Structure 1
């Protein structure tokens, strides 16, 4: 009976260690995947931002686009 209990405990410990190893491997793979995806997304976003034209006009370009004031006609 003692041998059966010891063998059962050994198997249970082995199963638990294997389960922990599997969970750790999955967590590492997930973290690596997230890091890779984040880096790829960041690189792609930086490329899009760099290639897109600037939408914010500068002060000088805004000034050059301003219309002259309307001519005032004297009211009689």
Structure 2
């Protein structure tokens, strides 16, 4: 099962294998704190989605849906 989360959410035991999909590593977050197993910069979401989230974090659900669609388009 694939679940999308914000990197700002605390890692949970049930997360399993964690992949960061972003061009840049988040400021102020260590790899140890993030508990990221794999960092895939090359499949990051379009910049527009990042800008949308920065404008209003409540839109994460919409970004999650767009991210899933993007992964499907890229067959990942």
Give TM-score scaled by structure 1 length. 0.24
Give TM-score scaled by structure 2 length. 0.24
* Higher strand proportion (structure 1 or 2): 2
